[in-house]
Chains A and B, each alone.
Chain A
Amino acid sequence: MKGQAGRPPLWSYWVVLPSFVLLWGLIAWLLQSPLLPTPLNVLDTLIRESATGELWHHLGATLGRVVVAFILAMIIGTAIGIVMGRSPTTNALFDPLLVLLLNLPALVTIILMYVWFGLVEVAAVMAVVINKVPNVAVTVREGARSLDYRLEEMATVYEFTRWQRLREVWVPQLFPYLMAATRGGLALIWKIVLVVELLGRSSGVGFQLHMAFQVFDVAAILAYSLAFIAVVQLIELAILQPLERRSSRWRQPEAAHA
């Protein structure tokens, strides 16, 4: 592998972000304005909100919606992507609809869902799912198109059941595409969930941002944002990266063997 030889030194990851925080602190200290709190102010707010339990309540509400919407979007999007990738006719039938949905602004879906179904949880989650499904479908469709026909033939000769074919032949080949959809999905979904909460829910990080916005409480806005970014990073480090390492082990036979 070429990239391995040119791996950057470890410290290089720890330069820009800390410098940015320092710069932010410096400017905030110079301005002395409530509209730009210092990093310490934000940390203070974070600790206070966390102590009252408010932070955890809203973080949990948002995380719950993200998880439910994410799982639904991945299942529905993967199914659509596989069918469209394997059947040219189905693809031709539904491709225009997919293009339309891909270009539909998230805000429009959210408003329509709330208008048609009321300010309820189901409408909120459905709005997020509808926004995400086309992205997953397009990514997985790409993978389904590139499935190795030689393994398909092998599975036909050896009479694999549908389930075996899906689990043993398709999913391992689709895995990189599913991971790409997951990565992109998590980032997109939690941002949409915040908008959904801001517009029509009375819990969650989005709701709290809405409240803070009304009183120009910038420290609270930053505290809640940072808290959720941390949660998403934690998911990436604790779940996605280990999953990816485990499932791509077979690609480096010498490493797996050692």
Chain B
Amino acid sequence: MLELRIAGRDFGQPVLGEVFATIERGDRICLLGPSGIGKTTLLNAIAGLDKSVPDEAVIGRDKLRVGYLFQEHRLLPWRSLDANLKLVGASDQEAESLLEQVGLSGYGHYLPDQLSLGMARRAALARCLAVKPDLLLLDEPFASLDPVMAGELKTLIAGILDSCPKMAMICVTHDGGDAEILANRLWYLDGKPARLQWDDALAEPGLVDGLLGRLRDLALPGS
């Protein structure tokens, strides 16, 4: 579905090294790695937001619909939730049912900044789904949420993944536990410049911790 041939990315100094990978429909990838290593940089490159990464480096993206859950909600603060969803192509009814799906029914007329952090993130997730994405990109979806809200959101996302078996997902996270629940494939980004150190299918529960443990034991170059 999608093939990455990213040659690298500099911000004055090299951050991202070569990244080669293919993503198939139904892949649920958790992208793990130390903070500041370039996980969001890679996600932006895949989404086509990085102008210095040529389009040819992400083969097949032009045919895909992408939903991107940023770390901030990035809803238009001057538009209601309904209007935000309709702007990306949802009909009245779709907007209503999407909000219901993320547990925000009745909040359609609210402005994004009237919501709590957790609610705003769920509203932003509804917008991701409104484009009926082939590829769902999640940038630390559980960051700065309290454990209860994070747990609810995790259940919600897991449910969405189950109901869309053809959708692919890449989720940036620090937490191996997230990968246990959400992922069927694990990427580990590390090194200087950062490369995918590990790209593995996750078949059985408990594997993530094992993998992460082994990765920590390895002396990775530059880390």
Contacts and interface: CB of A to CB of B under 8 A. Distances in A.
Contacts of B77: 250
Contacts of B44: 153
Interface string A11-51: 00000000000000000000000000000000000000000
Given A153-B49, A154-B70, A168-B87, A253 B76 contact: no
B70 A253 contact: no
Contact of A156 (B49, B78, B111): B49
A253 B113 contact: yes
Q: How large is the interface on B (under 10, 10 to 19, 20 to 34, 35 or more residues)?
A: 20 to 34
Interface string B45-67: 00111000000000000000011
Contacts of B47: 157
B144 to A, nearest CB: 16
A151 interface: yes
B76 A151 contact: yes
A150 B72 contact: yes
Interface bracket on A:
10 to 19
A162 interface: no
Contacts of B67: 157
B interface, by DSSP: helix, strand, loop or mixed?
Answer: loop
Nearest to A154: B74
B5 interface: no
B87 A157 contact: no
A88 interface: no
Contacts, number: 46
B79 interface: yes
Given A154-B70, A250-B77, A164 B111 contact: no
A254 B66 CA distance: 33
Contacts of A157: 47-49, 66-68
Given A150-B70, A157-B49, 20 more contacts: A151-B74, A153-B44, A153-B70, A154-B68, A154-B74, A156-B48, A156-B49, A157-B48, A157-B66, A157-B68, A158-B127, A168-B76, A168-B87, A169-B76, A172-B78, A250-B78, A250-B111, A250-B113, A253-B113, A257-B111
23 contacts: A150-B72, A150-B74, A153-B44, A154-B68, A154-B70, A157-B47, A157-B48, A157-B49, A157-B66, A157-B67, A157-B68, A164-B87, A168-B76, A168-B79, A168-B87, A169-B76, A172-B76, A250-B77, A250-B113, A253-B111, A253-B113, A254-B114, A257-B111
